Amino acid sequence: MSLYDDVVLVLKGHEGQEELRQAYLDHLAAHPDGVWKACEDGHITASALVIDPERGRVLLTLHRKLRMWLQMGGHCEPGDATLEAAALREAAEESGITGLTLLPGGPVRLDRHPIPSPCHWHFDVQYAVLAPPGAVQQISEESLDLRWFAYDEVTDVADDSVVQLLEATRARL
């Protein structure tokens, strides 16, 4: 199965956010290359909120280009067999943490957002990953900083998309 086919199956199985989910599916139907960064009209991205439920905290990255506190995430790559694999790879690469595991149940939510340059859209499929006990983060080249935030601190540092992702993740937990 191709990554494109996997993404379509994941989206068809995603419950909730029906209008947005359909917009993702319509975009992919119109753009067979819509899972790749090269699709200039917009493309699928995979992200993951790194969460430590035992300590009631999440790990956020201060994104180098956007200068915002965000979950880990990015573009799909040719080696990604599935969308889940892409999200897990991005989380491990950007957090430096080994042994992350996906929260069961598929994507937590969807978030479509414009990217300033070049003008196009990211159709982000958002997952959550559990940090293993004693996890130690390591800053990647894509980040200015990595920091653990208590659940109640996230609203003070992150945008609404991250806050909604945290709320949906906590509801699933």
Structural domains in the chain? 3-172 (3.90.79.10)
Compute the distance between CA of residue 34 and CA of residue 24 in angstroms, rounded to an integer.
9
Going by DSSP bridges, is the β-strand pair 109-115/120-130 parallel, antiparallel, or unpaired? antiparallel
Q: Which residues sit opposite 34 in a β-bridge?
A: none
Distances (CA, A) of 74 to 17, 109, 122, 152: 21, 15, 9, 25
**Per-residue pLDDT, 68:** 93
Q: Is a pLDDT exceeding 80 seen at residue 24?
A: yes
pLDDT for res 39: 92
In this structure, the dihedral spanned by the alpha carbons of residues 32, 38, 44 and 50, taken in order and rounded to 10 degrees, is 150
pLDDT at 119: 64
Which pLDDT score is estimated for 51? 98
Bridge partners, residue 47, by sequence: 73, 126
pLDDT digits (tens, 9 = 90+) for 87-139: 999 999 999 999 999 999 999 999 999 887 666 899 999 999 999 999 999 99
Q: What is the pLDDT of residue 64?
A: 87
Integer Cα distance of 59 and 139 in angstroms: 11
- Look up tokens 């958002």; give the residue: 126
Q: What percent of the chain has pLDDT over 90?
A: 89
What is the per-residue pLDDT for 116? 73
Which residue is listed with tokens 């599935």? 82
Residue 11 in tokens: 């989206």
For residues 30 and 127, the answer to whether their CB atoms sit within 8 Å is no
58, with CB counted inside 10 A (0-12, 13-18, 19+), is buried
Query: How do strand 43-52 and strand 120-130 relate by DSSP bridges?
Result: parallel
pLDDT at 118: 66
Q: Is the pLDDT confidence value at 163 over 80?
A: yes
Chain segment 29-73, per-residue pLDDT in tens: 999 999 999 998 999 999 999 999 999 999 999 998 889 999 999
Q: Are 132 and 17 in contact (CB under 8 A)?
A: no
- For the segment 127-151, what is each residue's pLDDT rounded down to a tens digit? 999 999 999 999 988 889 999 999 9
What is the number of residues in the chain? 173
